Amino acid sequence: MQNTYPKFSVIIPVFNREKFIKRAVESVLNQTYKNFELIVVNDGSTDGTLNILKNYPIKIINQKNRGVSAARNRGIKASVGDIIAFLDSDDEWKKDKLKTQANFFIKNPNYKIHQTDEIWIRDKKFLNKKKIHQKKEGFIFYDSLNLCLISPSAVAIKRELFDEVGLFREDFEVCEDYELWLRITKKFPIGFSPQKLVIKYGGHPDQLSKKYYAMDRWRVRAMLPFCNDRKVLDVAIKKCKILIDGAKKHNNKEILEEFEPILKKLTEQKAQVSSNLQEDQL
């Protein structure tokens, strides 16, 4: 007997994206793989987003504006599928995205997370990704420290994984995905299919990356729980120094007050780790 629950729960968080949400929703509804539910979490939109959403046979959850992490978490908690897939409201999927991921999990049942490749478009122009941005498979924790190698719109995650590592941190205003990926990649290998089945759009003025400065603030905060590892320490210290140099140049007391003590602590921690290594080698 076929399982009455959808294989996938697709979650789209949205805030004031009346120009893009139609494209995103229809790219899900047009998937060749049909065993899914689509949940759109309307995170307090004040434009015409909700009126557009009402035209589709989808589940809509309305909440006060609490940010993308809270919206994704709300969608996860309301979902019933055993695999969770996310789509940012300004991106879109090609029609075989879910089919490719379903086939991957069938063939690789031990994997708990998988992503496809993607196409980047910025200001209506195709971008050629640099080698450092190339997505990887397997255990990619150390590769993920310097930059984000997993895209929310490209990923699909078994529900059980969230039970093991937790949900998105709602206190992270940005880099919330980077923080979660570190928790996941520390423990689990990443499955990857090279097909470019996600179109990721950038360049519009309401993107969070344009709203917030010194993004490495959140990346350093995400790394702190893993700084018993020498490789993580090295990256965190490097990013702290860059943040502090920039803060001194722009007289940003807020960053200096937070990250100068962090740099001091991390430097002391690195010295202790180095000392322990030398003792172990004796």
Residue 226 belongs to some domain of the structure = yes
What is the b/e burial string over 19-35, where b = at least 16 CB atoms within 10 angstroms of the residue's CB? ebbeebbebbeebebeb
Tokens of 226: 């893993």
59 lies in the same domain as 121? yes
- pLDDT score for 127: 84
Domain end, chosen from 210, 241, 259, is at 210
Element of type H or E holding 116: strand 113-122
**230 lies in the same domain as 179:** no
Query: Which residue, of 210, 243, 258, is where some domain finishes?
Result: 210
Judging by beta carbons within 10 Å of its beta carbon (0-12, 13-18, 19+), is residue 123 exposed, middle or buried?
exposed
Task: Please check whether residues 41 and 138 belong to one and the same domain.
Answer: yes
User: Is there a domain that residue 126 lies in?
Assistant: yes
Give first-to-last CA distance, the chain, whole Å.
63
Q: Are residues 115 and 247 in the same domain?
A: no
Does residue 66 share a domain with residue 54?
yes
Q: Are residues 59 and 145 in the same domain?
A: yes
- Looking at the structure, do residues 205 and 255 belong to the same domain, yes or no? no
Report if residue 154 sits inside a domain: yes
Residue 107: which domain range?
Answer: 8-210
Whether 1 is covered by a domain: the verdict is no
Provide the pLDDT for residue 207. Answer: 57
- Residue among 68, 79, 77, 73 nearest 36 (CA): 79
**How many domains does the chain divide into?**
2
Domain annotation covers residue 30: yes
- Looking at the fold, whether 144 and 234 belong to one and the same domain comes out as no
Q: What is the pLDDT of residue 213?
A: 67
Which CATH number characterizes residue 47's domain?
3.90.550.10
Q: What is the pLDDT of residue 281?
A: 60
| Nearest-angstrom CA–CA distance, 105 and 107 | 5
Shared domain for 239 and 154, answered yes or no, is: no
Indicate whether 19 belongs to any domain.
yes
**Both 253 and 199 in a single domain?**
no
- Regarding whether 130 and 93 lie in a shared domain, the answer is yes
Domain boundary at 210, 229, 248, which?
210
What is the reported pLDDT for 2?
44
Whether residue 3 is contained in a domain is answered as: no
221 and 206 within one domain: no
Type and span of the H or E element at 29 = helix 21-29
pLDDT of 132: 82
| Rounded average pLDDT per 10-residue block, the chain, 282 residues | 68 97 98 97 98 97 97 98 97 97 95 97 84 91 94 97 97 96 98 97 65 82 95 96 95 96 95 71 56
